[in-house]
Amino acid sequence: MASNEEEILREVTDSDYKFGFTTNIDSDKVEKGLNEDIIRLISAKKNEPEWLLEFRLEAFEQWKKMEEPDWAHVNYEKPDFQDIHYYAAPQPKKKLDSLDEVDPELLDTFNKLGISIDEQKRLTGVAVDIVMDSVSVATTFKEKLAELGIIFCSFSEAVQNHPELVRKYMGTIVPKTDNFYAALNSAVFTDGSFAYIPKGVKCPMELSTYFRINEAQTGQFERTLVVADKGSYVSYLEGCTAPMRDENQLHAAVVELVALDDAEIKYSTVQNWYPGDKNGHGGIFNFVTKRGLCERNAKISWTQVETGSAVTWKYPSCVLKGDNSVGEFYSVAVTNNFQQADTGTKMIHIGANTKSTIISKGISAGRSHNSYRGLVKINKNARHARNFSQCDSLLMGDRCGAHTFPYIETENSTAKVEHEATTSKIGEDQIFYCLQRGISEEKAISLIVNGYCKEVLNKLPMEFAVEAQKLLSISLEGSVG
């Protein structure tokens, strides 16, 4: 389908191409708007090789001809793409002198999440005199990783230092014209992360963007590429449980995972961006394209906890190309107030004996809408493919919505595909039981919700899981009564 679409696109867009503009603007903030000059400028600022500039320009050419998709079950005001700064050199944040200057509401949340004082200072941009633990930790980690031959750096560094790897894999999983937002990202991405695990190496620690302090502000068009070479293993953490007060309204990231023969990638995300206020004003649009490719005997496992953003639109997918490969998707999506989430996965079974598991837990409260949208496709040659999907929705309040849109396409008689979905609310008897034992209603709800999501939370790395549990309770605060 994708290649077919691409062909059509190419046909339609086979128009002439205007080269030859150079630009001499030398400020650190480019004016608003998106055009070829801006893209050339971004590329030049980052000192990128010619092929990457071509990649960007081609993506931009295609993007101009694409329409913003509107099939998702979300309503929002479409962003004005000419009203965005596509390049701004990292702005030094205003340094605060002490935590007293920080929004007390934010500090309150930090305390509930159990984030240490030092960490809180770092997150809020308070100047710290002592060397923070995590900085030294990061350096030791980097040394240790380098010993094993693991490359873990920012995308820009990777382009400079390992262009052969980046060029080989970038855009192979998510083609630059895959969809509207992926094309936009391909044209204007500013930075992101890159990880390469060499053959047979088991990465000894969780790779996390969290440790790459310098690169914390990767901007709104982030690009991640993780390549696990034959027989390797890596666990990658994205995001952070701490609330991110980002100024950018639109986030369109692209994540590509490549798991070569016998490799395994575990990719965990906790997303807690600003969801807008209680009346539904503001908040971040999170339109992400995430996809992984599994070669023979490889395994990719996506785990996500989505609590933030005003509009989420995200389908981490697995292309199970190699025989015996495995794809997993575990998701908890929580929406409250006026949040909208349309999230799910695609499991494309191509190889024989491929297996996939989908566990999706949606929780909607307030006036929010939470949809699961997924595709399970068993191709003709995927003999003995196996899929199990379970999508549960929990509704809290009578103004919210929970929806399920699963697509199940089977073209092989030896495949076994199962899908089930349920929708329910928290039982009054469950609440009553807790209240009787002196547990407040709010606590009771958090208890029940955590139990409901346990299957997914169990898949997260330990520290992450603890934080995610607390995060769930905070996200649902004020949703009862």
Partner 1 sequence: MMNQKDNKTPWADSLIASYAAKPESENLGELRFPTRKDEYWKYTRTNQIAKNSWSFQDAEISSDQVENAIDGIKNCVVFINGKFDAPHSIELPKGISVANTDAAVESFAAEKPFNPFRILNEALPQTCLDIAIENNTVLDEAINFVFIYHGKDSVANPFNRVKIGANSSVKWIERHIHIGEHATFGNVCTQIRLGENAYCGMDILQSGTGSSNHHEEIEVSVEKGARYVQNSFTLSGNWTRNNTQVSIVGENAEANLNGFYIPAQKELVDNHTIIDHQVAHCNSNELYRGVMLDQSTGVFNGKVFVRQDAQKTNAFQSNGNILMSDNATMNSKPELEIYADDVKCSHGSTTGQFDDEAMFYLMARGISKSTAQKMLVGAFAADVLELLVHEELHEEIENAIHKKLG
By C-beta, is 357 or 423 nearer to partner 1?
A: 423
Minimum CB separation from partner 1 for residue 423, in Å?
4
Inter-residue contact 425 to 394 (CB < 8 Å): yes
Window of 9-17, 137-145, 178-186, 321-329 that interacts with partner 1 by CB under 8 A: 9-17
By C-beta, is 267 or 338 nearer to partner 1?
A: 338
Of residues 400 through 419, those in contact with partner 1 by CB under 8 A are 400-419
Window of 174-182, 206-214, 328-336, 389-397 that interacts with partner 1 by CB under 8 A: 389-397
By C-beta, is 151 or 421 nearer to partner 1?
A: 421
Minimum CB separation from partner 1 for residue 408, in Å?
4
Of residues 61 through 80, those in contact with partner 1 by CB under 8 A are 65, 67, 71, 73
What is the crossing angle of helices 428-436 and 441-452, to 10°?
120
Dihedral sign for Cα 348, 357, 309, 118, please.
negative
> Taking CB under 8 A as the rule, does residue 396 contact partner 1?
yes
* Nearest alpha-carbon partner for 333 in 74, 56, 20, 58: 74
By C-beta, is 334 or 378 nearer to partner 1?
A: 378
With CB under 8 A as the rule, give the number of residues binding partner 1: 42
By C-beta, is 289 or 371 nearer to partner 1?
A: 371
Which member of 46, 397, 430, 470 binds partner 1 (CB under 8 A)? 397
Identify the H or E element spanning 140: helix 133-147
Which member of 172, 424, 440, 458 binds partner 1 (CB under 8 A)? 424
Q: Which residues pair with 392 in a beta bridge?
A: 361, 422
Inter-residue contact 151 to 158 (CB < 8 Å): yes
Dihedral sign for Cα 244, 247, 250, 252, please.
negative
Which member of 421, 434, 447, 448 binds partner 1 (CB under 8 A)? 421
Dihedral sign for Cα 265, 375, 254, 208, please.
negative
> Taking CB under 8 A as the rule, does residue 336 contact partner 1?
no
By C-beta, is 1 or 462 nearer to partner 1?
A: 1
Using the structure block, give the residue that is written with the tokens 């090789």: 49
Distances (CA, A) of 383 to 320, 371, 380, 387: 12, 31, 7, 12
Inter-residue contact 347 to 356 (CB < 8 Å): yes
By C-beta, is 81 or 405 nearer to partner 1?
A: 405
Which member of 16, 77, 398, 429 binds partner 1 (CB under 8 A)? 398
Minimum CB separation from partner 1 for residue 161, in Å?
40
Which member of 380, 440, 463, 478 binds partner 1 (CB under 8 A)? 380
> Taking CB under 8 A as the rule, does residue 184 contact partner 1?
no
Minimum CB separation from partner 1 for residue 283, in Å?
21
Inter-residue contact 237 to 210 (CB < 8 Å): yes
Inter-residue contact 187 to 63 (CB < 8 Å): yes
* Nearest alpha-carbon partner for 347 in 388, 314, 287, 401: 388
By C-beta, is 139 or 414 nearer to partner 1?
A: 414
Cα-based torsion angle of the residue sequence 32, 38, 39, 45 in order, rounded to the nearest 10 degrees: -110
By C-beta, is 83 or 418 nearer to partner 1?
A: 418
By C-beta, is 136 or 422 nearer to partner 1?
A: 422
Which member of 91, 425, 432, 433 binds partner 1 (CB under 8 A)? 425
* Nearest alpha-carbon partner for 301 in 347, 340, 341: 347
Which member of 2, 10, 12, 146 binds partner 1 (CB under 8 A)? 12
Tokens of 136: 């030294």
**String of DSSP letters for 311-347:** EEEE--EEEE-STT-EEEEEEEEEE-TT-EEEE--EE
Euclidean distance between CA atoms 395 and 411, whole angstroms: 35
> Taking CB under 8 A as the rule, does residue 423 contact partner 1?
yes
> Taking CB under 8 A as the rule, does residue 430 contact partner 1?
no
Residues forming the site for partner 1 (CB under 8 A)? 8-9, 11-12, 65, 67, 71, 73, 378, 380, 393, 395-425
